Structure 1
Amino acid sequence: MPKFTGKHFAILGAGRSGLGAARLARLHGAEVTVVDEGEPQKIKAALDKQHAEGFRTLSGQAARDLVVKPGDFDLVITSPGLDANWPLPKKFTDVGIPLTGEMEFAFNLTDLPLVGITGTNGKSTCTELIAHLFNACGKKSVPCGNHGMSLSEVVASGVSYDVLSLEISSFQLETIQNYRAKASLWLNFAADHLDRYPDMQSYYAAKARIFENVTASDVAIVRAGETVDTGAAQRLTFSAYGAEADWTYSAGCIQVGPENVTFEVNSTLRGRHNMENVMAAMMACQVHGLSLEEMQAALAGYEAPAHRCELVRELHGREYINDSKATNLHALEACIGAMERPIVLIVGGKDKQLDYTPLRDSLKGQVRAMVCIGEIAQALKTTFEDLVPCQTAADMAEAVQLATELSRAGDSIILSPGTSSFDMYTGYAQRGEAFRTAVQSLT
């Protein structure tokens, strides 16, 4: 008999995580009601998918008016975007209905091995890279969790994988109880999501729960210098910024301390921050049995994610890098700090009333010149022209041409806007494609 026959579960959130949880719950015999406070016309696509698979839904005002009594439901499963302390989840927990998160629900219904990845920046790149390394080396894997398919979708699909590459957000970690992984990655930590958390300590505490249930047979892979408590797990460290660590990167090479092995990195990924992603990914795959030799060959075949420090072209000794996904100041600073060559920076876009003056320290000694675009172009030029040569451009083609003229052989010409794209483009992807087209048009 299925595990949940006769049970009635509420799924909060009609999106991808909610649909995966609904499928998985029904697969195990539960009756399901999907509840989402979004207005029906605004979440029509998600509701249509739920209805197509025969799930009962409550949305908009009907969801807000829902009165929950003890015994109405046996379990409430939340999507990551919902805080358990918000009014909708509390309708259930206030009358004694137990709550779990979608990821935790799926974890308890599978025995598939997995690697868990968290951090403020770099999670998606690292998650994709881990799945690529496993697949290229003969172990079937898929990127999932907070990136790609939800864990519930993967488990409900019934497809057998050797190892899952699971990106985990702080929101997903808020509701874990049993979750643990043989290899858990902590990539970095920086301020973020303070619209969800009352302070940095709360955000940090949520992310640190990735190590809450680890045992002495597990491995914690942590960026050197991070103070996070990794519990009983064996702790391994990595650094591309000169810190002492088990794995280090310098001048194009990775050194593996315990094995005393050094190898040159052959990858389209650019920047020291991405070299940290490479080391963390390889360390996790090594925990699951892959050798350094086979991973080096697999790494060479990895295509960097579009618009994230993506190498577009090398021409006349210059490399052109598309980091259009850098839509905030923190991402822009991370890009600048990660590069090993002098930079000519293409920056700007929509005016989000951001204060760019903190960027001044990052520019010194690293950025040779700037080309400013978009609504905020003139303001950026005014802010930085006393530090570095600054020009403004009317469009991306002109920006790339000017950046090339300002550069020298050995430089990196980087589109890393530091703000959103909606003044000129439909999104960061279209902006990145415009940069790629302009670069490919150079002769």
Structure 2
Amino acid sequence: MNTETLKNRRILIAGLGLTGFSVIRFLVRHDLLFDVVVDCDEAQANAYRQDIEPLITAKQNPILHTELSMDVAARYDLVIISPGIPRSHPAIVSALAAGIEVIGDIELFASAATLPVIAVTGSNGKSTVVAWLAHTLQIAGIKALACGNIGQPALDSLLVEADLYVLELSSYQLESTYSLNAISATVLNISADHLDRYESLDHYAQTKRRLHPMSDLVVVNRDDNRTWPTEGLSDEDSRNKYEYFTISLDSADHQNTRWHRLANGDVNYLCDGDCSLIDEAQLSMPGVHNVANALAVLALVSPLKLEFERLRSGLISFAGLPHRSQLVAESDGIRWYNDSKGTNVDACKKAILAMPGPVLLIAGGISKGADFRPLNDVMRCHVKLVILIGRDRELMAEQLDDAIEIVMTAGLDEAVEIASDRAEPGEVVLLSPACASFDMFRNFEDRGDQFVAAVHEVLAA
């Protein structure tokens, strides 16, 4: 697909979030005609029309449909869907059955990108790894631009001067991507998430692994078999496109695993094959999950054939992103951490294990069909008190062990006050909700910002 082949297509943009508007800007830049559909009432439609008007030229006069129906979709031969619209939507199912092409913004990006792409997906850590990659490469003198599911929409990034794109991809985006051509890519890990959208964990994992055939090098997490390739291993050339990393210190696990850890006395090194590169204690972020992220970063940049000394400074100095196990305050021997991006069970578990003391955990929100029972073991060992908020707090409480002390409260401010009253020196208060935020907040960033504000207010009292 290229923009010339779109000249005579009847194009429908479905959805008008950040992605939908980036698609509009892209199509306008290439002088292409299109219509738009977004489920809304007439008042909202008028507001959308006002938002669209400054973006279009005199040539474009898009129809704005207010319902994504089978009848509307049938009028077009190309539907560009936003990530929030599942392919199981009745109108999309009908369109696909009728032979109508359905793609997402990343497929358009793939058709237009002329620079190398490093692509990252996974259940947890993908934003951290994308930002870490961009940071490390920029310090090494390469203009690496982080884009996609992090920050700037991929199509808007095409206008920015760069040497290389570091592309974060969600499973939603991968559903409608077919022809990305990355120099390296990874599915960092798979854990239960978005099970309100996918039929099963296997279906979710299969969607993530759609990235594998779209990359020259695939970096695989040996410690997570759901990320392992399931096809394309029949010949040596195919097998050679896969490189593995592991956080295991057992040398038996290092066979055919280029990127690993090596214990030497009290020091654990990150290794490239037989070469010890760096003491993991030099990394700026806590937690063994960030050791795994660092190994993934090293593996993903390997096609660029850079000497490690060019990478060392960036690898060490990256301090992480907001809302990811972020230390926001320390007072009277109590540390307060914001891990609002911990929107699933596995992320919450890793955040708890990375904390430097007994944890008072604030959790809850929209469960997304999650099973919270896998948290019980780590909570029994490391969590003093669980304070539950949000829509599904009672569901979460029902699945947690009776031996775990639980307090339920309506709001985040009250949860912070309870934590402040109960926490003692040497302990940690951690917001890591294991749930989505949309019941009470605009997004996880809003939730994290409100937590930080509440913490500062309590500490100032």
TM-score, normalization by structure 1: 0.81
Q: What residue is the counterpart of 1:64 in the other structure?
A: 69
Q: In structure 2, how many angstroms separate the alpha carbons of the residues matched to 1:292 and 1:46?
A: 49
Which blocks of at least 5 consecutive residues in structure 2 are unaligned? 233-237
Q: What residue is the counterpart of 1:240 in the other structure?
A: 247
CA contact (8 A) 1:11 1:34 kept: yes
Q: What is the identity, as a one-letter code, of the residue corresponding to 1:256?
A: C
1:22-421, aligned counterparts within 5 Å? Answer: 22-42=24-44, 47-54=49-56, 56-61=62-67, 63-64=68-69, 66-67=71-72, 73-90=76-93, 92-155=95-158, 157=159, 159-214=160-215, 218-227=216-225, 228-229=228-229, 231=232, 232=238, 233-240=240-247, 242=249, 244-245=253-254, 246-248=259-261, 253-258=268-273, 259-313=275-329, 319-336=335-352, 338-339=353-354, 341-348=356-363, 358-367=374-383, 369-370=384-385, 372=387, 374=389, 387=403, 395=414, 398-402=417-421, 404-405=423-424, 407-408=425-426, 412-419=428-435
Which blocks of at least 5 consecutive residues in structure 1 are unaligned? none
Shift of the 349–13 alpha-carbon distance from structure 1 to 2, 3 Å rule, reads closer
Stretch of structure 1 that moved more, 302-311 or 103-112: 302-311
CA contact (8 A) 1:116 1:183 kept: yes
- Counterpart pick for 1:21 among 10, 20, 23: 23
Q: How many residues align?
A: 429
Q: In structure 1, how many angstroms separate the alpha carbons of the residues matched to 2:45 and 2:285?
A: 36
Q: 1:138 deviation in Å?
A: 1.7
Q: What residue is the counterpart of 2:235 in the other structure?
A: none
Q: 1:41-83: CA deviations, max 9, x gaps?
A: 457665543232125142324x5384466xx645322222223
Q: In structure 2, how many angstroms separate the alpha carbons of the residues matched to 1:96 and 1:401?
A: 58
Q: In structure 1, how many angstroms separate the alpha carbons of the residues matched to 2:95 and 2:398?
A: 54
Q: What is the identity, as a one-letter code, of the residue corresponding to 1:277?
A: N
CA contact (8 A) 2:192 2:370 kept: no
Instruction: Classify the secondary structure of the residue corresponding to 2:337.
Output: strand
Stretch of structure 1 that moved more, 257-266 or 342-351: 342-351
Q: 1:182 deviation in Å?
A: 1.0
CA contact (8 A) 1:117 1:123 kept: yes
CA contact (8 A) 1:420 1:428 kept: no
Shift of the 436–293 alpha-carbon distance from structure 1 to 2, 3 Å rule, reads farther
More helix by share: 2
CA contact (8 A) 2:221 2:246 kept: yes
Q: 1:139-191: CA deviations, max 9, x gaps?
A: 11222122222222222x2x232111111122222223322311111210112
Q: 1:300 deviation in Å?
A: 4.1
Please tell me the root mean square deviation across aligned C-alpha atoms, in Å. Answer: 3.8
Q: Percent identity?
A: 26
Stretch of structure 1 that moved more, 371-380 or 112-121: 371-380
TM-score, normalization by structure 2: 0.78
Stretch of structure 1 that moved more, 202-211 or 129-138: 129-138
CA contact (8 A) 1:173 1:206 kept: yes
Shift of the 256–316 alpha-carbon distance from structure 1 to 2, 3 Å rule, reads farther
Q: 1:292-314: CA deviations, max 9, x gaps?
A: 33333123443422221112356
Q: 1:377 deviation in Å?
A: 9.1
